[in-house]
Structures are given as C-alpha cells and as structure tokens.
Amino acid sequence: MERNSTTDVPQGSVAQLGVAHLLEGLATRWIDVIDLTTELSHSTPTLELPEPFANLIDFSLEEVSAYNQPGPYWKHHNIHTGEHIGTHVDAPVHWITGRGGKDVARIEPARLIGPALVLDVTKEVAADHDFLLDIHHIKAWESNHGPIPEGGWLLIRTGWEARADDRQQFLNNDQQGPHSPGLTVECARWIAEESSLSGIGVETVGIDGGAAAGQKPPFPAHHFLLGHDKYGVTSLRNLSKLPPVGAALIVAPLPIVGGTGSPARVLALINA
C-alpha cells in the first residue's frame, strides 16, 4: 500500500518513533490507539479478601448536582472508590517489602511509558485456571521475539478478560478459595531481581494468582516486584489486539500523594 503522506512513517516498533513521527502517525492513522482499560462502575469486579481481612469499597458516584438547584448549569459527582479497583497500578509502598518506597505520585513518568511485550498463555490457562507463568515461558518468548528491552512492560495474556463482566467468573472462588493464573515464586523473583522490566500487566484482579496466599513467600509477585521498585497493572483488556512486540504502553494513574495505587487509564500504541 502506498503512503499518502509526503513524509513516510518509519518502520519498526512504535516505541522507536520520534515525537514528530508519532504525531504524524496518529494524525494519518498509521498508528492505532488501543484502550486496555476496564471501565469503572459500581459493577466493576473487585478483590474479595477472606475474613478477618478488610476489603476496599466498590466504586460509586455520589451526585452533587445535576443541572438543578445545587448546580443549575452543571452536573458533577463525588467519587467513592478504593485505590486498587478495576484497571489500577500497584505502587511499591502497597506491599510490606516496599514500605518506605515510592507512593503512586512518586513513580517517575518515564517508568510508566515503555515497550509492551505480550506473552500469550491462553491455552495453558484454559487447561488450568491455576496456571503459573515460569521463567522458561519468558525465555521461550525471548527466543522467538528477542531480548526484553530496558523499561519494558510484560503483559500476560491469559484469556481472563472474557470473564471480566461477570464478578463470579472473574474472581472464580470455590470452597478452596479463588482460582486464577499468576507467577511462580521463581519467576516473580527473576522479574524483580534480574530483568530490565518496569513492571507487568495482567488481565486478572491482581498481579498474583488466585491461590498465591499459599505460595512461599505469599503473594510473590507483590512481594518481589514491589520490593524491587517494579510495578503491576491489573484488569487489562484487549491484549488480543496487540502484537507480541512492537507496541508502546502508556500507563496513566492519578498522582495520589501517599497513594499505594490508583485506578489508571492504560493505552497501547500499535502500527496500523
């Protein structure tokens, strides 16, 4: 296909484009913007911790005015929500291993933008809801697609998105507890201590698997990643629309001072 623009958009990954080429690519539709975010509403599935642990509140809006006496020309709401609701970022201070680390407002903006690496394990998860990603899965991905770039984000496509509109299926609890995919202890440690990743993104309600309380240490993704200044993003959608390599990820949380996390808009830029 011939380009109509007098300046060709360079080939290669979006993450390698200069700002001028990026803007031209957006204007001429040679770059697509893919929204990876779960919409926030009162029905957005949220994590449910067992007793005696306390849970966050669900998201809700409180009307303040609606073109009426409290505000005749405008409509606005108060927002009521927990930090870790829907598509959200986990900051290091969220976990005991990251205490004294960054709150969500202190995460450097450059760490929130980077190459997106999509690892597809949908077949494995379809066969085992408690599937755990291991180091060898990442090494196999690298053999096919090249080494992990500095500051990249590993997005783990599990197919869990298909459950996202049904709270019961999404949380997938039974008498033994919740069941959803996650990371092995060894994989979490490797990502935290040896990889050049900024963080990981998942389609599930949290960055750990549903049965992660029984791992040693418990919740290893939280334990190792947040303890090593790496970040997690949850409840992603539309990972099926991304290539394994070549996309750029933009993670935009609210800069909440003292915040352990924040709901976020997460976007991907891909070559059309």
pLDDT single digits (tens) 78-129: 999 999 999 999 999 999 999 999 999 999 999 999 999 999 999 999 999 9
pLDDT at position 122, please?
Answer: 98
- Answer yes or no: are the C-beta atoms of 229 and 199 closer than 8 Å: no
The band of 7, judged by pLDDT with boundaries at 50, 70 and 90, is: very low
Residues involved in catalysis: 94
β-pairing verdict for 88-90 and 261-271: antiparallel
pLDDT at position 19, please?
Answer: 86
Average pLDDT of the segment spanning 23-28 = 93
Q: Name the amino acid, one letter, at 231.
A: Y
Which residue, 245, 266, 248, 268, is CA-closest to 120? 245
pLDDT at position 6, please?
Answer: 41
pLDDT at position 264, please?
Answer: 98
- In the three-class reduction of DSSP (H, G, I as helix; E, B as strand; rest coil), residue 174 is classed as strand
- pLDDT for 68 beyond 60: yes
Nearby residues of 7 by Cβ (< 8 Å), 6 or more positions away: 21, 24
∠191-35-181 over CA atoms, to 5°?
40
- Answer yes or no: are the C-beta atoms of 32 and 51 closer than 8 Å: no
- pLDDT for 179 beyond 90: yes
Across the chain, mean pLDDT equals: 94
* Each residue's pLDDT tens digit, 183-237: 999 999 999 999 999 999 999 999 999 999 999 999 999 999 999 999 999 999 9
153 or 1, which is more confident? 153
Query: Which pTM does this prediction carry?
Result: 0.92
